[in-house]
Amino acid sequence: MSSVATIKSNIIPPHLEVKGGCPLNGVLKVSGAKNSSLALMAASLLTKEKLLIKNVPQLTDIEVMSEILRNLGAKLTKTNNSIEINSESIHNVELPYQLVHSLRASFFCVGPLLTRLGEAKIPLPGGCNIGARPVDEHINGLKALGAEVEVINDVVKAQVSTKDKRLRGANITLKYPSVGATETILMASCLALGKTTISNPAREPEIQDLAKMLNSMGAKVFGAGTKRITILGVDSLSGTSHFVIPDRIEAGTFLIAAAITRSPLIIGPVIPNHLSAVISKLKECGCLISQHGEHHLKIIPREISGVDITTSPFPGFPTDLQAPFMSLMATAKGSSKIKERVFEKRMQHVLELNKMGACIYQENNTAYIKGVKELVGSNVEGGDLRSSAAIILACLSAKGNSIFTGLEHLDRGYEKLEEKLTNAGSIISRNFDQPTSQRSISNKIISEDNINTQKNAA
């Protein structure tokens, strides 16, 4: 016992050491979309047949979702970036708090469980610490479809009491185009009796990806990506094989990485119209962006000037790229204003960026940024997934070296980030063994020799 305790007390949180100021070059490869994959994995519960999902990123969020599905009785087989899911014998209707609290997407299981087993008990979900993130729209949608739903001691208990155990189609209007609520209602209504309409649904590409897979399973979903989705309920869904769309948020992060390091890069695969708002703002602030082949974008940054952004649901500027874009604006010429309008607590990066020499003043959900000539390497910590990405970008552009902690957030959403960035010329290493009290960049990693080796390899 005592030896285990001793070992645990010596464990140092893993961290990244980042050498600032290295130019990037070459190609940054974009993985499959995390947010699509999570919803698609939950949708596998809707069929008794095998489902093969390809191009799934290897991330901790995907691991947690896999564990949730296993816990419900599904069998998973993983090969590199593919997951085969067999949900034939799911039997459990209750998700354990330990798994749910870290992953908001766990709530996606509620619709399929209700449909397959007539019952679901799911603790209120967690996820990134970026605001209240209620699930009222999910619950109202399920109630409209005929489910009985109550929340007792922070556990959502839902059941279908009709004789045939089927939900009933309904006309549902969302007060806000919530991504998660649209996905919950979509999954719950595919096997409902009759027709469902969702007015004011989320139009994000991940919704379209989910609808595409559901349709290839035999569902009848029309209008995903528009202002009204219609679902004609069917009696059963079959297995299928589906290739996940590229992650537009990872792609956007890489475009901003090019801009903040003033480096030309090729990024892909991407679906360019998934990134329209981001491309348009990057062009406005001084980047040349063009299509490179069928599935890649080429970005050539010039002088970067301050531009304003306001986040909004798709096709607006994505909230998930607000933080990375703020890092860029921190180093732009002139001033800019960034308004966060999707989540109410999503500016945890401001403090860390200011620590690095940025000049950002935050008032409620608006940040006023005065660009500085350069950021300075520092000891910095990510507080949520996207603020962690923003801080890493700032570290890449900074003068000097940085130590980043908060890998548990970063690893939720960016597959092999340091490997990808290193291949493109960055000098980043992951360390597990350096005492937090003595954080400093070790000379061996940041030596000139190393810089030359990296450049030659890139």
Q: Whole-angstrom Cα distance, residue 340 to residue 78? A: 37
- Which residues is 241 bridged to in the sheet? 52
Q: Of 24 and 210, which CB lies nearer to ligand UD1 in the complex structure?
A: 210
Q: Of 261 and 327, which CB lies nearer to ligand UD1 in the complex structure?
A: 327
Q: How far is the CB of 121 from ligand UD1 (least distance, A)?
A: 18
* Residues 183-222 interacting with ligand UD1 (rule: CB under 6 A): 202, 206
Interface with ligand UD1 (CB under 6 A), residue from 44, 319, 378, 405: 319
> What element of type H or E holds 18?
strand 15-19
Q: Of 15 and 248, which CB lies nearer to ligand UD1 in the complex structure?
A: 248
Q: How far is the CB of 206 from ligand UD1 (least distance, A)?
A: 6
Nearest alpha-carbon partner for 57 in 444, 451, 453, 412: 412
Q: Of 137 and 250, which CB lies nearer to ligand UD1 in the complex structure?
A: 137
Interface with ligand UD1 (CB under 6 A), residue from 116, 138, 203, 409: 138
Stretch that binds ligand UD1, among 128-136, 263-271, 396-404, 443-451 (CB under 6 A): 128-136
By the rule CB under 6 A, 342 interacts with ligand UD1: yes
Residue 128 falls in the annotated catalytic set? yes
Burial of 264 (0-12, 13-18, 19+ CB in 10 A): middle
**Secondary structure of 85-110 in the HEC alphabet?**
EECCCCCCCECCHHHHCCCHHHHHHH
Q: Of 202 and 375, which CB lies nearer to ligand UD1 in the complex structure?
A: 202
By the rule CB under 6 A, 179 interacts with ligand UD1: yes
Strand order in the sheet with 379-381: 379-381, 401-405, 15-19, 427-431
Q: How far is the CB of 306 from ligand UD1 (least distance, A)?
A: 24
By the rule CB under 6 A, 387 interacts with ligand UD1: no
Stretch that binds ligand UD1, among 8-16, 171-179, 185-193, 257-265 (CB under 6 A): 171-179
Q: Of 229 and 424, which CB lies nearer to ligand UD1 in the complex structure?
A: 229
By the rule CB under 6 A, 135 interacts with ligand UD1: yes
* ∠ CA 198-201-202, rounded to 5°: 155
- Residues 6 or more apart whose Cβ sits within 8 Å of residue 236: 47, 191, 218
Cβ–Cβ < 8 Å for 302, 333: no
By the rule CB under 6 A, 133 interacts with ligand UD1: yes
> What element of type H or E holds 29?
strand 27-29
Q: Whole-angstrom Cα distance, residue 185 to residue 201? A: 10
Residues in contact with ligand UD1 by CB under 6 A are: 35, 38, 104-105, 131-138, 176, 178-181, 202, 206, 319-320, 342-343
Mind telling me the catalytic residues?
Answer: 128
